[in-house]
A and B are shown apart, each in its own frame.
Chain A
Amino acid sequence: MPETPILLLSLTSGALDVQAVIRRAEDEAGSGRHGAVAVFIGNVRGENLGRRVLELHYEAYEPLALNAFGIITAEAGEAWPGVAIAIRHRVGRVAIGDASIVIAAASPHRAEAFQACRYVIERVKQIAPVWKREIFEGGEAWIEGATADPSDAAARKAAYERACG
């Protein structure tokens, strides 16, 4: 069965195909221009805050999340010119051990690929309008992290410093 190509920046309620995300970043980089591909896979942990997690439910404001991914990859493009980035994030129910996000960064050389990939996951966690509801043994709770503000220069700098650390 021929595979439907995925978009460079996307959300899906289906299982994440890591190879498809990698191929999408490589295609974007261009033939012969992806000497290095760094991949980040975020998986759902079965333990959080000392409680046993049963599953996560992800919710997104999808059009803004896609805008956020675009902002983030544009920022990464400024910092690491020539790096091509693909992002695919789950929505809906995600089981323990399954991937909730895959980021692939393709570039001519490895240093830029690793740094850009790390930068992108830090920024996704800072600004992408995605929320997880944790279903744990004995209850459920929304998890809340950062207040999303793409213009917060200090947050952006912190993400950059983590990427280059």
Chain B
Amino acid sequence: MRITILVFAKLRDLVGTPQLVRDVAAGSTIEDVWQALAGEFPAAAPYRAALSAAVNAGYAKFSTPVAEGDHVAFLPPVSGG
């Protein structure tokens, strides 16, 4: 199934683009999506412990399953305000 991955700030710099479209296996979780991304962009891999995630603009746990057409976002530590 096809999903869209969104990355921001320093993570976007490491990946080189703000948005990627990727095919993932049915039953994949956000964690699986991250592992595939980290495999593709090893420089991003050490980020895992500091990241949070969202699906379709709602916060989500890494254990959340993803579905066809989902927008999965990975968020580096935030610094707003």
Q: Which residues of A contact B (CB under 8 A)?
A: 42, 58-61, 63-65, 67-68, 89, 100-101, 121, 124-133, 142-151
Contacts and interface: CB of A to CB of B under 8 A. Distances in A.
A159 to B, nearest CB: 12
Contact of B78 (A121, A130, A133): A130
Interface string B20-44: 0000000000000000000000000
A143 B79 contact: yes
Contacts of A127: 78
B19 to A, nearest CB: 11
A64 B78 contact: no
Interface string B44-81: 00000011101001110000000000000101111111
A100 B6 contact: no
Given A59-B8, A64-B59, A131-B79, 18 more contacts: A64-B54, A64-B57, A64-B75, A67-B57, A68-B59, A101-B81, A125-B79, A125-B80, A128-B78, A129-B54, A129-B73, A131-B76, A132-B79, A133-B9, A142-B10, A145-B78, A146-B78, A149-B59
Nearest to B49: A147
Nearest to A68: B59
B5 to A, nearest CB: 13
B79 A61 contact: no
A64 B58 contact: yes
A121 B81 CA distance: 7
